[in-house]
Amino acid sequence: MVRALLLSALSALAGVLPAGAFAGETPREALNRLWPDYVAAFTTQEGRVVDNGNGAITHSEGQGYALLLAAETDDRPVFDRLFAFTRSTLMIREDGLAAWVYDPELGHVRDRNNATDGDLLIAYALIEGGERWDDAALRFAARRMTRALLDGTVSVAGERQILLPGASGFDAEARTDGPVVNLSYYVFPAFRALSELDPQARFDVLERDALALMEESRFGPRGLPSDWVALGGEAPQPAEGFDPIFGYDAIRIPLYLAWAGAGQRQHLAPFVAEWSETPPSIVWVADGSVRSAFAENGYRAVAALVACVMNGTPPDPALFQRLDPLYYPATLQLLSLLALDERQEACP
């Protein structure tokens, strides 16, 4: 999802999270402590996740993140509220995918196109919820959404499988520089879960091709990917019509790599190099100039996760003392905690 409207926003990875890295609190305990604050700040009684940094809209991405976090914190009442709103309000497409944005000022969906990362996150959350609560209906819904994703968003560019950001508007027929991808939509932890649910889906091929594409999408002097990447030329390039920045979207690329333990160390190396010198920032990839630093702790939490995975650097507990006031960085805080918990062996 484009974040221009927001205010301000390893083959196997191995080792053990240092004892006391969270001042006596484990990442899972910190996640459970902050989750009620997240629910109070960003969800409504009807089950809508409010992006308060983006005009109070609700999008499939936010529903997916919150559903996943509800499953991980064993919060079935909130999960059910979230899924009820998602199913009744966003899942109105005939192909089984979710419309990407609900506008509270309109009182209905503003754009029926899907956002593929949102669909992946919803399916992932349904799998996790189905396993946690032994709910066959949730597993069935996840399987249906997985099939819809494969049918509607997986395409081919050259000899590679790619994940289109939406079912409409991003292929070679729709764009002169197309197809266009958003590498932050490759939710690697979801790929693993969906592959276990449906081994014939071959998300392993999609992951393999994504990792190769990420190595080719390092632009400018800093070697960072842009939020949106065009594949219509001889080599990947920042996509036309989007600011050529490493920004609010692309910061999730290292989050998902580190969380899933996907790829090799070189896939995370550009981010380690970047953040060893400067805090996480919006970067104009062509010339490497820093446009602005990310102010909130959620962005620094992603950098801390990557540093822990790559160098064994313990995360700063101050990053998780309290929730950021905006939806997106607050979500990154909780996702980083979840990743630290699930990848404890990744932080020597």
Q: Alpha-carbon distance 169 to 65, whole Å?
A: 24
Give mean pLDDT, residues 37-62. Answer: 98
- Tens of pLDDT, residues 202-232: 899 999 999 999 999 999 999 999 999 999 9
Is the pLDDT at 10 greater than 70, yes or no?
Answer: no
Is the pLDDT at 5 greater than 80, yes or no?
Answer: no
Is the pLDDT at 13 greater than 90, yes or no?
Answer: no
Give mean pLDDT, residues 69-77. Answer: 99
- Tens of pLDDT, residues 80-125: 999 999 999 999 999 999 999 999 999 999 999 999 999 999 999 9
Residues 6+ apart with CB under 8 A from 200: none
Residues designated catalytic: 61, 117
pLDDT for residue 24: 80
pLDDT for residue 201: 83
Q: Alpha-carbon distance 262 to 259, whole Å?
A: 8
Q: Tell me the pLDDT band of 22, cut-offs 50, 70 and 90.
A: low
Is the pLDDT at 199 greater than 90, yes or no?
Answer: no
The DSSP code sequence of 102-128 is EETTTTEEEE----HHHHHHHHHHHHH
Give mean pLDDT, residues 265-282. Answer: 94
pLDDT for residue 277: 82
Is the pLDDT at 74 greater than 80, yes or no?
Answer: yes
Q: Alpha-carbon distance 198 to 306, whole Å?
A: 29
Q: Are 157 and 210 in contact (CB under 8 A)?
A: no
Q: Which of 164, 186, 289 is nearest to 239 (CA)?
A: 164
- E runs forming strands in the chain: 58-59, 101-103, 108-111, 154-157, 160-163, 180-181, 229-230, 237-238, 245-246, 281-284, 289-293
Is the pLDDT at 20 greater than 50, yes or no?
Answer: no
pLDDT for residue 344: 82
Q: Alpha-carbon distance 39 to 112, whole Å?
A: 26
pLDDT for residue 12: 33
Instruction: Express as a percent the part of the chain with pLDDT over 90.
Output: 89
Q: Alpha-carbon distance 338 to 240, whole Å?
A: 35
Name the DSSP letter for residue 277: H
Measuring CA to CA, how many Å separate 312 from each of 20, 53, 117, 272?
14, 33, 29, 12
Among the residue ranges 24-33, 63-72, 182-191, the one predicted with the least confidence is 24-33
Q: Alpha-carbon distance 229 to 181, whole Å?
A: 5
The CATH number, out of the four listed (3.40.50.150, 3.40.50.300, 1.10.3720.10, 1.50.10.10), of the domain defined by the range 27-346: 1.50.10.10
Give mean pLDDT, residues 286-290. Answer: 96
Q: Alpha-carbon distance 346 to 216, whole Å?
A: 25
pLDDT for residue 17: 42
Q: Are 92 and 99 in contact (CB under 8 A)?
A: yes
pLDDT for residue 2: 37
Q: Alpha-carbon distance 189 to 346, whole Å?
A: 14
SS3 label, residue 313: coil
pLDDT for residue 345: 75
Measuring CA to CA, how many Å separate 168 from each of 103, 108, 116, 173, 316?
20, 20, 11, 10, 42
pLDDT for residue 202: 85
pLDDT for residue 39: 99
pLDDT for residue 23: 63
Is the pLDDT at 6 greater than 80, yes or no?
Answer: no
